[in-house]
Amino acid sequence: MENIGRFRDFVQSFTQFIAHVGHNEERVFADGKAFLSELITHDDWLPEQFANPNPERYQQYLLYCDPMERFSVVSFVWAPGQKTPVHDHTVWGMVGVMRGVEFCEEFGLDPETGRLNDGNTHKLTTGGIDFVSPRIGDIHRVSNALGDRPSVSIHIYGANIGAVRRHIYEQPEGHKKTFISGYSNTVIPNIWDRSSGSVAN
Ligand code: FE
């Protein structure tokens, strides 16, 4: 049985944290990383239906959205071979890999030509955390680095990310298209039933 109490504890702690640090992105990254690290290194809480791959495309399941939409938490689930388009976020984000391995390709946008420049690439293994934002670098493409099983990552964003107007970039010209991602699910986990599975930590 999933230890949904762990996620409830996270939601309560992170809500207090965001109320305290507000929009101070440097503080969010520096001190907020520990909350995400705790979640992804204790893989006992994510209900199975929010870890299910879809053979058609990668999944973005909403797990929680702050009532004031100051932050949201999603699980990304990639089947082997699946990848995102090149995209931006327009808000801060923290990405933590809970299962498997992800491959990240970063891009810069040349302000003169509007073309995309190749940036760093790296693998993010289980337990690894990445940061994105317009301030530190916001354009990337992410894929499942494993050819034989799904990868699952947990992301926290500084908004209701599925409702944010952001962009997909075509390569290499960098033509951008506005998109609003929405979510793959219509129901979210019930974190408020304290009668079972509540053995936190
Ligand atoms: Fe992304």
> Domain ranges in the chain?
50-179
Token readout for 16 is 């207090």
Give the distance (Å) from ligand 1 centre to CA of residue 48: 22
Q: What distance lies between CA 26 and its chain's CA centroid?
A: 18
* CA atoms 132, 137, 141, 142: torsion sign: negative
Q: How are beta strands 116-124 and 86-87 bridged, if at all?
A: unpaired
Residue 165 buriedness (CB in 10 A; 0-12 / 13-18 / 19+): exposed
Per-residue model confidence as pLDDT tens for the chain (201 residues): 589 999 999 999 999 999 999 999 999 999 999 999 999 999 999 999 999 999 999 999 999 999 999 999 999 999 999 999 999 999 999 999 999 999 999 999 888 888 889 899 999 999 999 999 999 999 999 999 999 999 999 999 999 999 999 999 987 777 889 999 999 999 999 999 998 655 555
Residue in this structure with the two tokens 């890999």, named with its chain if needed: 97
Give the distance (Å) from ligand 1 centre to CA of residue 93: 8
pLDDT of residue 4: 96
pLDDT of residue 1: 59
Give the distance (Å) from ligand 1 centre to CA of residue 66: 20
Give the distance (Å) from ligand 1 centre to CA of residue 142: 7
Give the distance (Å) from ligand 1 centre to CA of residue 1: 30
DSSP single-letter state for residue 175 = -
> Could you tell me the pTM of the whole model?
0.94
- H or E element: which one contains 121? strand 116-124
pLDDT of residue 112: 85
Give the distance (Å) from ligand 1 centre to CA of residue 141: 7
Strand order in the sheet with 176-179: 116-124, 102-109, 139-144, 86-87, 166-169, 176-179
Give the distance (Å) from ligand 1 centre to CA of residue 167: 11
CB 62 within 8 A of CB 185: yes
Give the distance (Å) from ligand 1 centre to CA of residue 73: 13
Token readout for 144 is 């499942």
Give the distance (Å) from ligand 1 centre to CA of residue 151: 15
Residue in this structure with the two tokens 């702690």, named with its chain if needed: 13
Give the distance (Å) from ligand 1 centre to CA of residue 193: 31
Q: Please state which CATH class domain 50-179 belongs to.
A: mainly beta
Q: Is 98 left (phi over 0), alpha (psi -120 to 50) or beta?
A: alpha
